[in-house]
Chain A
Amino acid sequence: MITKTILEQIEGEASLYFDMKGNIVDFVTIAFPHFRGMEKMLEGKNAMDALVITPRVCGICGHSHLLASVRAIEDAYKNSDSVVEITNKAAKVREITLVLEIIQNHLKWIYLVLVPHLRELSESEELLNTPLKGAYGASFATKILAIFAGQWPHSSYMVPGGITSDFTYVDLTKAKSHLQKLTEYFEAETLGASVEEFLSFESCKDFAPLESDFAKIEQLLIDLEMHKKGHAKDTFLSIGIHEFSHAAKVKGTKLFKVASKYVETQDAYAPDEKSYAKNALYKNQFYETGPLARCMAKEFKLIKNMHRRFKDSAYTRVMARIYETAYLLGFCKKLLDEINISEASCRETIPLKNISGTGEGVVEAPRGPLIHRVQIKEGIIKSYEIITPTQYNIASATKENPSPAQQAMLHCSQADAKFIFRTFDVCSVCTTH
């Protein structure tokens, strides 16, 4: 007997088709009933238009799309024998705004998705429902972002050759001071410890003295036995090249080299409803992407310790997202301190109409690797392909070879399965661009 459930609050919605055996999930397929056709719109347009159009794929990670677009165009320059070198300053600022976008996404996810659903599932009043906490923290992050990018969401401040913004020392000082405030806010409201202290933790035992939202979340996850549920494939993928991450394919705890050319898509398997989503696979296999994948590739002690004990359970996945938030706050400070304001923001490039060739841009977005592939002829887009992180995690395939989310939802109650689905931080609008 297959029952349909609609899940909202995932930047859009998805339909889940549960095949139950008694009260236990036997299998799930996932359909995304929306479609906009962004790739089609890009065809025939000036390649620079991609910098304005692709951010509009998503209202929560548009910045990652912008960076993927600009990297794809710069790569096309390179493949047309016109290498674009950006300055250190431009590279740092691009990185800073990307990191801030990830931070705001995670903060929002913690308080608008995780906390209410954890409360619902555990029927516990222990943890208060405070969505505005997430909104408040996230608005701090986007405020810093806007100093460099002009606005958030949907900025287009990166161009081939660098960035358009020529900020001053005053701007930089403001950014540092806002970041300081944001960090203190996260320490006081969420962690109950300083970021530095939190990042030095090596095992779950270190959480014992904490009395904070984080501590309550952790306890509730254990109470719900989420450390024994929600196991996916135990294989991870981190592909984007950044200072804050390490590109690798991870199987269990072993790291391997990774190359984006092996990423391909196939139509989603959704027998009960038309789905406009495509599955993303690496060498024909499913991998989990996102904060947990990045933490495994970076080999953070605390997350590795959790993985050793609980493998890639829902618990480990949630913890990795919170850990990454703390890590990125510290990393963002480092990046701001390293900016040399006297360098150029943007280097001039030859006109785009002289460029013909293909290019690829790969970025670690909040939920994992985002890939843009473009084919340009004399500055005009011939074809454009976008592969988003949710396409790996929430792929819908057959029972013989389930995707990470499908695997994670097996053999538990339907209520648990829905919660586990959300631990992947699903983005529906990206999936159905």
Chain B
Amino acid sequence: MADRIEGVKKLFTSKSARVETNKGDAYYEKLFEKCQARIEELKTQQPINNRLDITDVLEMQGIERRDFLKWASAVTGMLMLPASFTPLVADAALLMNRAPVIWLELSDCAGNSEALLRSDGPKIDEIVLDIISLEFHETLQAAAGHQAEKQLEDAMETFKDKYLLFVEGAVPLGMNGQFGTIGASGETMHDHLLRVAKHAAAVVAVGSCATFGGVPAAAPNPTGAVGVMDVIQGKPLINIPACPANPANMVGVILHYILTGQVPELDSLLRPKFAFGYRIHDNCERRAHFDAGEYVEEWGDEGAKNNFCLYKVGCKGPMTFNNCSIVRYNEGVNWPVGVGRGCIGCSEPDFWDKYAYERPMADAKIKAPTGGVEKTVDEFGLGLLTAAGIGIGIHAVASAVAGKKEDGGEA
């Protein structure tokens, strides 16, 4: 038991998610030349389908070049590239209209499209999205029915082997796929996906449903839903999980592709390390309260009023990898922990069943995500935390305000 407690202690207090970002000068010099050559080549190509030129749009929106470069430098940092790459990233953004994107919606709630459309910023991201050559998106285009199908066929033909395919929503395989059919032909979502993915340069699964099956796959999985990675083989595949996925990460992936022509470095769950190389717990604004053993014991108690750590009310930050605590949501305004609500672990596989949000982890049979970011987090089973609340405040300086105070009244 002592060893176990020691093990848990190590796990919860270690800086588990340290991605080594620096790959050395020689590497970056080579990469820089490669990116430069690629961008020069893209510049010689014509924009697709008369998409707008970003410089005009920026002007129209009253965004100055300086603001644009500020944004480019922030994105360069996010992509874990040295600052010297900023001009290249800016160039890549200007060339967004050279990268055809096809976006499919399968068994979903459209939440990622919604997030992408308008819930994140800086505003410039949205403008960039207007520039991305979104050749096909069922929700965002005017065409419908047969017309839409024709548009999809045309896009697939014109940009054969060149387009990025974004997929939102799970793939329902139950009842031979009859739980989800698409378009006038009544094609199943599964067949539809295989057909469109066949000639994609790379496939990007966006949101928890497309990556790991998400909510449709929650027990008892009524529709036999699976993620894209379970049905697509032999293609470069990038997973951007979370519910919804953070648009900053979607734009980051597209930019990375334009810049390098490659998929970014991925972890064992195929998630880009630039976004999922962080553990929520390590960058949490309430981490100090965890370390001090100060917890919210029940909704509305003294601890809650004082913004204490949410671990005891089910926060899954310690076993969740994502950059929410850094990038935040809705133009950097906030994130769930910021409003006193624990992380629900939505970027990890099977979180609906294993990570249910208010269950003490001791009872949750959690097998931690094998983040692949660093091996120490692989394969730890929290089932070993038998006594409820053990592992909490392991090295607490003092078991501070534990929920109900005798003299509790309104603070």
Contact = CB atoms under 8 A, between A and B. Distances in A.
A276 B126 CA distance: 34
A160 B299 CA distance: 9
B110 A149 contact: no
B304 A40 contact: no
Interface residues of A, number: 80
Contact of A8 (B120, B148, B178, B356): B148
A132 B328 CA distance: 22
A56 B111 contact: yes
B138 A165 contact: no
Interface in A23-59: 33-38, 40-41, 44-46, 48-49, 51-53, 56-59
A52 to B, nearest CB: 5
Contacts of B298: 348
A36 B223 contact: yes
Interface stretch (A140-148, A312-320, A364-372): A140-148
Nearest to B117: A135
B140 interface: yes
B334 interface: yes
Interface residues of B, number: 76
A427 to B, nearest CB: 9
Contacts of B26: none
Contact of B358 (A48, A116, A148, A273): A48
B223 A8 contact: no
B109 A57 contact: yes
Interface in A55-108: 56-60, 62, 104, 108
A159 interface: yes
Nearest to B301: A348
A164 interface: yes
Contacts of A40: 220, 222
Residue in B307, B339, B340 whose Cβ sees the most chain A Cβ within 10 Å: B339
A346 B113 contact: no
Interface in B197-253: 214-216, 218-220, 222-223, 225, 243-244
Contacts of A273: 186
A207 interface: no
A336 interface: no
Contacts of B110: 11-12, 58-60, 429
Contacts of B225: 36
A4 B180 contact: no
Contacts of A241: none
Contacts of A8: 138-139, 141, 143-145, 148
B338 interface: yes
B181 interface: yes
Contacts of A5: 144-145, 184
Interface in B123-165: 123, 126-127, 130, 138-146, 148
B109 A56 contact: yes
A154 interface: yes
Contacts of A349: 299
A35 B352 CA distance: 18
A100 to B, nearest CB: 11
A161 B300 CA distance: 8
Contacts of B184: 4-6
A172 interface: no
Contacts of B82: none
Contacts of B338: 150, 165
Q: Which of A6, A53, A136, A163 has the most CB of B within 10 A?
A: A6
A167 B144 CA distance: 44
Nearest to B352: A53
B183 interface: yes
Interface in A151-194: 151-157, 159-167
A8 B410 CA distance: 51
Interface-central residue, A11, A48, A135, A344, by most chain B CB under 10 Å: A135
A259 interface: no
Contacts of B179: 34-37, 276
A309 interface: no
Given A59-B108, A154-B243, A36 B341 contact: no
A131 B215 contact: no
Contacts of B112: 59
Given A13-B182, A153-B114, A156-B336, A139 B358 contact: no
A116 B358 CA distance: 44
Contacts of A152: 119, 329-330
Given A34-B107, A132-B126, A150 B335 contact: yes
Contacts of A57: 109
A13 B339 contact: no
A49 to B, nearest CB: 5
B105 interface: yes
A141 to B, nearest CB: 9
Given A49-B352, A52-B352, A153-B114, 11 more contacts: A6-B184, A8-B148, A9-B138, A9-B142, A58-B109, A58-B110, A132-B126, A136-B126, A151-B328, A153-B119, A157-B340
14 contacts: A41-B220, A48-B358, A49-B357, A58-B111, A62-B109, A108-B117, A120-B142, A132-B130, A136-B118, A136-B123, A152-B119, A153-B115, A162-B300, A165-B341
Interface of A: 4-9, 11-13, 33-38, 40-41, 44-46, 48-49, 51-53, 56-60, 62, 104, 108, 112, 116-117, 120, 131-132, 134-136, 138-139, 142-143, 145-157, 159-167, 273-274, 276, 342, 344-349, 418, 429
Q: What 7 A-B pairs come out closest when comparing CB atoms?
A: A59-B111, A37-B222, A346-B300, A165-B339, A146-B330, A151-B329, A164-B340
